[in-house]
Chain A
Amino acid sequence: MVEKDDPWEIANIPGPRRGEILTPVIAARMIKEAERPLFIVGSLALETELNGKSLVEYAIEIAKESKMPMVAVAHTLKAFLEKGFEPDASMPLINIIDRLRDADWEGLKGAGQHDLVVFLGMLYYIGSQGLSTLKHFAPWLRTITLCRFFHPNADMSFPNMSEEEWANYLDELVAKLRMG
C-alpha cells in the first residue's frame, strides 16, 4: 500500500530535496504565524465532495477562519460566487505561480511578496509542477498543500490518506484556525 509520504504519482521523485508530512495542527500554526500567507484553490475543488460537503465549502471556511487572501484558479471563481463568497483574485494557476517566483512582485494586496502559500484542490501533476517552480525559484516562500495526496515538491504536505481521513484533517484544521 502507498506510504504516507510516497509521492502520490509513483514516478514523481524529483530529487534529493523533498517535503515533510504536514498535520492540521502544524498547518494551522504555520498559517497563523505567516506574515503574508496566500491561499490558492484549484479545479479539483469543483469535483470533490467529502461527506456531502464540497471542497469549495471547505475552502471558504479555511479562508474565512484564517483570513488568508484567496486566489481562485482555473474556472473555480464561479463556484465561489455562487456560494456567496468573493475570492480576492481569480487568475490562472500559471499566472499566480509566475508572480510568486518574482522577488519584485508586491503581492496580491500590494503589501509585499508572500511568505507562505497554501494549496488546495490542484490537479496533482500541474500542482506538483507549480510547486517545483516555487521550490527552485522562490526561496523566500514556504509552501504547504492540503490535498489528500502527498506532494514531494511542497515544503510540507498532507499525507496520502483516504477521503474519510481527509475530511477529518480539514475539519480539524478549520477548528484550529477558528481557535485563533
Chain B
Amino acid sequence: MDAIKKGTIFTISDLENVRISIGEIVEELEAKEWEPMGPHPMPGIATLRNWDLKLLNRYKPFYAPLCDMCCLCTYGKCDLTCGKKGACGIKIDAQQARIVLIACCIGTAAHAGHARHLVDHLIGKYGRDCPIDLGPSIDIEAPIIRTVTGIRPRKLGDLEDALNYVERELMNCLSAAHTGQEGAFIDFESKNLHVSMVDNLAKEIADIAQIVGYDFPKGDPEAPLVEIGLGVVDRSKPVILCIGHNVMPGAEVVNYLSARGIEGEVEVCGMCCTAIDITRYEPRAKIVGHIAQQLYAVRSGIADVIVVDEQCVRTDIVEEAMKVKTRVIASNDKICYGLPDRIDDPTEEIIDDLVNGAPGALILDAEKVGEVAVEVALRMAPKRAQLKALPDRQELKRLAESCVQCDECRRACPNDLHIPDAMASAAKSNFDPLAKLYESCVGCARCESVCRAELSPLNMIKVAAEYEIKEEKYKLRAGRGPVLDTEIRNVGAPIVFGDIPGVVAYVGCPNYPKGGREVAEMAEEFIKRGYIVVATGCSAMEIARYKDEEGKTLYEKYTGAFDRGCMVNIGSCVANAHVIGAAIKIAGIFARRKLRGNFEEIADYILNRVGACGVAWGAMSQKAASIATGCNRWGIPVILGPHGSTAYRRLYLGRKDKEEDWYAYNVKEGGEPFYFGPAPEHLIYAAETKEEAMMMTAKLCIRPSDNPRGRLIKLSNYIDLHERFYGRLPDDWHLFVRDVTELPPGRRKELARELEKIGWKPMKMPPGKIFDPTNLERFRNGWK
C-alpha cells in the first residue's frame, strides 16, 4: 500500500466490524535524508558493549569499597571481606560496580526526570511543533541526540522521542542492579557507561528544551554578567530565594513580577543551578551561591519565601526556614516535604495561610507558584524585618567557652576542619581562626549534630566571617549554552593537532577539600596557558567568587568566547551536555565524521584526538557520578578531587608501565598498530592536591593525534607544571616524546641529553608526522 501524503482526504465506506487504529504519525520524509543512519542508533544495553570492553581493558576498574558489606536485600547484611561471597553469590568488586550503577542510574534519573518535566510543560505551553532554533551560528543543534539516537530534533516533539529512549534505557539499566542480575563487575561497568551516556542525552534534551522554551542565550559569548554572592541581595526589598535545578517556578516568579509591573520591587535570587538558569532567563535576577552555601543563606534569614524545586536541596529546609519565619513553597513532585497539597485551593487562601503562619505549601503548578511566592513575599517582608537564627558576635566568646574540646565536630567534618582549635581561640576573643574556616566549610552542619555542648559551629563560623560574607559581591557571565559551530570551525584543528593544548572543564559539586579558591586558581592557571577553560554548575559559581587585585573575577578578565584563554560559563548541570557536544562537533565539523547513530566511531575519534579533560574537584552527587562516567564513554577523562575517591568507590585507571595497553591502528599507514604512549593515562582519576590535579590535567590533555608542534606545546605545559610543583622533570615525560622536534626549543639540548641517558629511541613517524589513530578494527584499513 502506498503511503498516504499529508493533507490527503479519503473516505472509508461499506465496512463492517472494522476497528481502525492510528499509530505514530510519520512526517513526510525530506527529499534527502539529512545523513545516512550509522550502525548504532538508539543502542541498547549490550549494543556498545565491545566499545566498553575495549575502554575497560585499557582503563581497568579500580575499586575502593566504602563499605565491606552488601545490605541491599533481606539476606543481608552480607560480609564481603577477604573474598567472601554474599548470599546471592556476589563478590566485593561486583558489589562496588553495582553500587556505582545504582548511583549512575539515580543521576541519570534526576536529569531525565528534569528533562521530562520541562519537555512536557513546554509542549503543553507551545505545542509539539514549536521549532528548535538555536540561532544562525548553530546548525548541529543536538550533537548527542543525533549521535546516540539518530534523531535530528527540529521541534519540541522530537525531544520527546529521544526522551522515550532515555527512559527505556534507564529502566533496563536499573533493573540490572536487582538481586540476582548481573554478576560480573566488568559488565556492571559496561552498564554504568551505558546509563551514563544516556544521562548525557537527558541533559542535552533538558537544556535544548529550556533554551527554546525560555529563550536562553544560544551560545552567546557576550552573555551578560550577572551578580552572585550573599552580599548582592538587596535586603531592603522582599526576597524570594529559589533553590534547586528546575527553572520553571523561578521563571514564573519573574513572569508574575513582570505582569504586575513590579520587577524592581522584589529580589529574585536563587541557589544551585536554578539560579544559573533563572539568570539565563532574567539577567537581573541574582545568584546567592551553590549547595555549600544553602544553610548559611537560609539561616541568614534573607529570604521571605523559599521556593524549592528539585535536586541538591537540603532536606531540612522547612525546619530551618521555620526558625527564621521564612515560608517554603515546594513546587516539584520530587520534593514534597510532607507539606499540604494546595494546588486546587484558591490562590488568595494559600497566600493568607502562609502569611498567617503556615510554614509551607506544596503547589505543583509553576504559574501558581509564581503568584503565591510574590504575593507572600510582599506581605511577609515588612513583618519579618531582619530575623535570623544566628548568635550575635558578642555571644561568640561565651559560646566558644562552653566548647568541651571533645573533637567530635572535627571527626564529623568531611574536611577534618580544625574546629576545636578555632573554638579555643574564639574563647580568647580571637575570632579569625573561626572566620578562616568559612572558606573550607562545605555547609553540611554535621558538626552541630554531634556537638556535646549543643553548639552550632556552622553558625559560629558564619558570624565570625560576617564581614567577608557581606562583601560577597561578584560577577559571573550568565550561562551561555552551546558552543557555536562557528567557534568549532575556528578551534577544531588547533585542538585536534594540539596548538590549543586542551579544553579543561571545571564541573561538579562544591565538596572541595580546601575550599573553592583552588578551582579558581586552577582555572586561571590553564587560561593563562592558552587552554580553553569552561565551567558549569557549582564550579562555574565557585570560580566567580574570587577577585584579583583589581576586583575582577575571571569572567570579567577573560573572554566568554570558546577560544584559547577563555573563561566560559556554559550553564547549569544539564548544560554539561554542551561540553561533550563541543567534542562531538569537532568530529562532525572539523573532521566531517558522520554523527547520526554513530556513537562508537565518534567516541573513538574523541578519545584519540580531542584533548579535553574534566575536573570535578568537589564532585559529590550521583549526578556528578553519571556525568563523569558518561564523559568517559565518549573518551573524555575526568579528574576528581580527593573526596571523589571515597563516595564514588570506583576509578578507571590506565597503567603506563604496560606498553601493550597503548597501541592503536594508524589508518594512514595501512592500519599498522603503533605505540602512541599512555595518552590519556587515566579515564577517571582522583587527585590528592590541587598541584597534583594541575599536573595531571596537562598530562590528560595529551592525545595520540597531536602533531609535533601540538605535542611540543602540551609537553611543555606538563613539564613546566611538574617542575614547578614537584621540583624536577616528571619521570614519565619521555613516554610522550615521539621525536626530538617535540622538545621545547629553549631546552632541546638539555632534554635530548636526558633522553639519551635513559636510552630513548624516537618513534617511527608517519608521513607528514600526522597520526591517524583508531582503536576500532573495522577502520584499520580505511575510514569508509
Interface positions of A (Cβ within 8 A of B): 1-2, 8-11, 14-17, 42-43, 73-75, 77-78, 81-82, 89-90, 92-95, 97-99, 101-102, 123-126, 128-130, 132-133, 135-137, 139
Contact = CB atoms under 8 A, between A and B. Distances in A.
B726 A126 contact: no
29 contacts: A2-B406, A10-B408, A10-B412, A11-B412, A17-B68, A74-B687, A74-B688, A74-B689, A75-B689, A75-B725, A78-B725, A82-B727, A89-B731, A93-B688, A94-B685, A95-B653, A123-B513, A123-B688, A125-B646, A126-B645, A129-B66, A132-B65, A132-B66, A136-B63, A136-B65, A136-B81, A136-B82, A136-B92, A137-B93
Interface in B523-542: none
B45 interface: no
B689 A43 contact: yes
A81 B727 contact: yes
The secondary-structure label for the interface of chain B is mixed
Nearest to B730: A90
B56 to A, nearest CB: 14
A79 to B, nearest CB: 8
A90 B412 CA distance: 32
Nearest to A134: B64
Interface residues of B, number: 46
Contact of A94 (B79, B646, B651): B651
A14 B66 contact: yes
B448 interface: no
A98 B68 contact: no
Interface in B669-694: 685-689, 691-692
Contacts, number: 126
B307 to A, nearest CB: 32
B645 A125 contact: yes
A11 to B, nearest CB: 8
Interface string B691-734: 11001100000000000000000000000000001111001000
A10 B79 contact: no
Given A14-B65, A126-B646, A129-B645, 15 more contacts: A10-B408, A11-B412, A14-B67, A15-B79, A17-B82, A42-B688, A74-B691, A75-B689, A90-B726, A99-B657, A126-B645, A133-B64, A135-B68, A136-B80, A136-B81
B726 A9 contact: no
B66 A126 contact: no
Given A16-B81, A126-B645, A2 B407 contact: yes
A14 B643 CA distance: 16
B631 to A, nearest CB: 18
Contacts of A133: 62-65
A113 B14 CA distance: 86
Contacts of A75: 689, 691-692, 695, 725-726
Nearest to B77: A15
B162 to A, nearest CB: 36
A1 B407 contact: yes
B642 interface: yes
Contacts of B450: 10
**Which 4 A/B pairs are nearest by Cβ-Cβ distance?**
A15-B68, A78-B727, A129-B64, A75-B691
B83 interface: yes
B642 A125 contact: yes
A124 B643 CA distance: 10
B728 A8 contact: no
Of the candidates A2, A11, A75, A124, the one having the most CB atoms from chain B within 10 angstroms of its own CB is A75
A92 B687 contact: yes
A139 B82 contact: yes
Nearest to B656: A95
A73 B688 contact: yes
Contact of B406 (A1, A17, A102): A1
Interface string B409-428: 00110101000000000000
B324 interface: no
Interface string B108-126: 0000000000000000000
Interface in B59-104: 62-69, 79-83, 92-93
Nearest to A126: B642
Contacts of B685: 92, 94
Contacts of A128: 646
Contacts of A15: 67-69, 79-81
B83 A139 contact: yes
A97 B651 CA distance: 12
A81 B728 contact: yes
A125 B68 CA distance: 16
Contacts of B68: 14-17, 132, 135-136
Contacts of A94: 62, 645, 651, 653, 685-687
Given A16-B81, A129-B645, A77 B62 contact: no
A9 B413 CA distance: 8
B720 to A, nearest CB: 14
B264 to A, nearest CB: 47
A123 B415 CA distance: 9
B119 to A, nearest CB: 39
Contact of A98 (B416, B655, B727, B728): B655
Contacts of A8: 411, 416
A75 B691 CA distance: 6
A126 B688 contact: yes
B164 to A, nearest CB: 39
A90 B695 CA distance: 13
A132 B412 CA distance: 20
Nearest to A6: B411
A74 B728 contact: no
Nearest to B655: A98
A94 to B, nearest CB: 6
Contacts of B64: 129-130, 132-133
A82 B728 CA distance: 11
Contacts of B686: 94, 126
Interface string B230-262: 000000000000000000000000000000000
B609 to A, nearest CB: 25
A53 to B, nearest CB: 20
A32 B643 CA distance: 34
B645 to A, nearest CB: 5
B532 to A, nearest CB: 25
A108 to B, nearest CB: 11
B691 to A, nearest CB: 4
A130 B646 CA distance: 9
A135 B725 CA distance: 31
Nearest to A72: B726
Nearest to A11: B412
A8 to B, nearest CB: 6
Contacts of A137: 63, 93
Of the candidates B67, B686, B688, the one having the most CB atoms from chain A within 10 angstroms of its own CB is B688
Contact of B643 (A11, A16, A125): A125
